[in-house]
Amino acid sequence: MNNNHDIVDIQTTDCCIVGGGPAGVVLSLLLARQGIAVTLLEAHKDFDRDFRGDSIHPSVMQIMEELNLSDRILQLPHTKMHRLSVKTPQDTVTLADFSHLKTRYPYIMMLPQVRFLEFIIQEAQKYPNFHLVMGANVQELMEENGVVQGVRYRGQGGWHEVRATLTVGADGRHSKLRQLGGFTSIETSPPMDVLWFRLPRQPEEFAGGMGRFGAGKIVVMLDRGEEWQLGYVIPKGGYQKLRAAGLAELKNSLVEVVPELNNRIGTLQDWSQIAFLSVESSRVKRWYRPGLLLIGDAAHVMSPVGGVGINYAIQDAVVAANLLSQTLKNHHVEISDLVKVQQHRDLPTRIIQAFQTLIQKQIFAPILTENQTFQPPFLLRLPILRDLPARLIALGVFPVHVQI
């Protein structure tokens, strides 16, 4: 690494967490509660990014309950999604019904992610051993004898060093620490991309979420109170063709699938109102190096199918805190400690990614690439398996609980 920098200051901490998304902020809070010194580095100046995932699943709410935070989170403005349904020109089919689940939170909570992140940060800031740095652009790993000792970042007037017993990469799907650490990924190639945008929602319209399927077209509708958050699913690589066809063509396609949007589609006036998400799904082979651990999307990039990314990232954080708190208190983390984190979380990640791939191949791909009409999967017609998608999406593969 290049050490020829004018370092403004050197900070020392037990755990340096890079990335202020759901995994990073929850891990920060869990460690801070244990008296462990935590420095959280976030590259942006605030947490407000448009069209981030806003779904809080029952498994996350159960974790929040274990932290005595669930009641206060429920006081934040939100909507609830009790089931996921698909509407076609012929019929409406329920893909996942969360109301049947045996949990105090039988729904997916739609809460703007910025509000959730700010809430968790405010809790963490109650502990004097928690330190947050915004606008910290991590550029280098510091290594000695093959062991990561911390990071160097730019921000707040120059270069800074954070020396840490453990460095955690929780910096998302485009992880800088994954790149700096030389991690290799196992990739799949989902057959779709998504355009996200918002349109006004009328009070009398249904609440929750729904997919609208037409021949060759898929639109996802998520209730955001006074707005619909809409996802227009397109074949992989089809964005440039869509842009070339023009915004009017996109609007016409949307109204074909969701005719009731015709009276407000005019509010979509410019491509700047639309966010493009290139859908990918991958996981690194190893989540760790000596002194360094990846969690959340940095370790496993999730498809948006089922909105499970936040769920699995927070479960990663809880498992990491459960397994590493004592070793961090002892100021010595062995590679074997990091191995245990991946061992606990690797199988659930593989299972949910396989489930997402199955949905994309069996439901989305035939509609998008072959203009087929939607056919409910055979498994959903079997009573014994009907609740499986709801359980898998809402609760994850294995329950995760706070043990510290």
Task: Quick: pLDDT tens for 355-379.
Answer: 888 888 878 887 887 777 776 666 6
Assign 148 a pLDDT band (cuts: 50, 70, 90).
Answer: very high
Helix H, strand E, coil C: the string for 116-185 is HHHHHHHHHCCCCCEEEEECCEEEEEEEECCEEEEEEEECCCCEEEEEEEEEEECCCCCCHHHHHCCCCE
- pLDDT (tens digit, 9 = 90+) per residue, 205-238? 887 788 888 878 899 998 888 899 999 998 888 8
Looking at the DSSP assignment, which residues form a beta bridge with residue 300?
Answer: 283
Q: Closest Cα partner for 402 from 19, 14, 34, 21?
A: 34
Mean pLDDT of the chain: 90
Distances 342 to 181, 313, 364 between C-alpha atoms, Å: 16, 13, 30
Phi, psi of 258 (to 5 degrees): -125, 80
Q: Decide if pLDDT at 163 tops 50.
A: yes
CB atoms within 10 A of CB 98: 25
SS3 state of residue 247: helix
Assign 61 a pLDDT band (cuts: 50, 70, 90).
Answer: very high
Question: Rounded mean pLDDT of 108-133?
Answer: 96
Residue 236 vs residue 109, higher pLDDT: 109
Tell me what pLDDT residue 189 has.
65
- pLDDT (tens digit, 9 = 90+) per residue, 265-301? 999 999 999 999 888 889 999 999 999 999 999 999 9
SS3 state of residue 306: helix
Question: Rounded mean pLDDT of 85-104?
Answer: 85
Tell me what pLDDT residue 3 has.
58
Tokens at residue 320, please?
A: 């990491």
Q: Decide if pLDDT at 51 tops 60.
A: no
Task: Please report how the helices 113-124 and 22-33 are oriented relative to each other, as an axis angle in degrees rounded to 10.
Answer: 20
Tell me what pLDDT residue 10 has.
93
Looking at the DSSP assignment, which residues form a beta bridge with residue 168?
Answer: 17, 293
Question: Rounded mean pLDDT of 49-68?
Answer: 88
- pLDDT (tens digit, 9 = 90+) per residue, 316-364? 999 999 999 999 999 999 999 999 999 999 999 999 999 888 888 878 8
Tell me what pLDDT residue 91 has.
79
pTM: 0.93
Tell me what pLDDT residue 208 has.
79
Tell me what pLDDT residue 1 has.
46
According to CATH, what is the number of the domain 7-75+111-188+280-395?
3.50.50.60
Q: How many percent of the chain have pLDDT more than 70?
A: 94
Q: Which strand (E) or helix (H) includes residue 186?
A: strand 185-188
DSSP state of 286: -
